């Protein structure tokens, strides 16, 4: 029987990270009128790199691809506003709504890829 982690690859982790992004962005939208609230987002690439689920590229020379800097455990970053408000709130609803839609689409894509991998494994197991 194949290793389930190998079959699914990075898709379960990617879905979990996107789900966390959805939570953070929803919190931003909920605090759109809270004075001094600072909008945040999750750095998807950083989390995937920390978990080791990011695909690696082969290089023939060290200077062809820069090595990533040392990553921290906290992948939450503050969003830089396009037009800061007077009360110190950095939530821009239109930006957050677009980010939410993006994260939702990526979440669904990760789930569909995982579903496809499992479907292929089921077919192979049944001999279809």
What residue ranges do the domains of the chain occupy?
4-126
pLDDT digits (tens, 9 = 90+) for 34-89: 999 999 999 888 888 777 654 444 445 555 443 333 333 457 889 999 988 999 99
pLDDT at 33: 94
Burial class (CB in 10 A: 0-12, 13-18, 19+), 22: middle
- Which positions ≥6 away from 98 have C-beta within 8 Å? none
pTM, rounded to two decimals: 0.72
pLDDT tops 90 at residue 109: yes
Whether 112 shows a pLDDT value over 50: the answer reads yes
Of residues 31 and 119, the one with the higher pLDDT is 31
CB 81 within 8 A of CB 92: yes
Judge whether residue 12 has pLDDT over 90. no
Q: Compute the distance between CA of residue 44 and CA of residue 51 in angstroms, rounded to an integer.
A: 11
| pLDDT given at position 101 | 97
Model pLDDT, residue 124: 79
């Amino acid at each position: 029987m194949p290793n389930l982690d190998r079959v699914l690859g990075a898709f379960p982790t990617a879905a979990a990270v996107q789900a966390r992004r959805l939570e953070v962005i929803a919190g931003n939208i909920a605090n759109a009128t809270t004075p001094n609230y600072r909008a945040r987002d999750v750095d998807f690439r950083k989390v995937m790199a920390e978990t080791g689920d990011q695909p690696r590229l082969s290089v023939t020379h060290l200077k062809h691809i820069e090595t990533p800097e040392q990553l921290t455990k906290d992948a939450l970053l503050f969003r830089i506003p396009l037009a800061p408000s007077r009360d110190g709130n950095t939530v821009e609803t239109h930006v957050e709504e677009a980010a939410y839609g993006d994260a939702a689409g990526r979440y669904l894509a990760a789930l569909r890829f995982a579903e496809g991998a499992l479907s292929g494994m089921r077919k192979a197991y049944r001999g279809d």
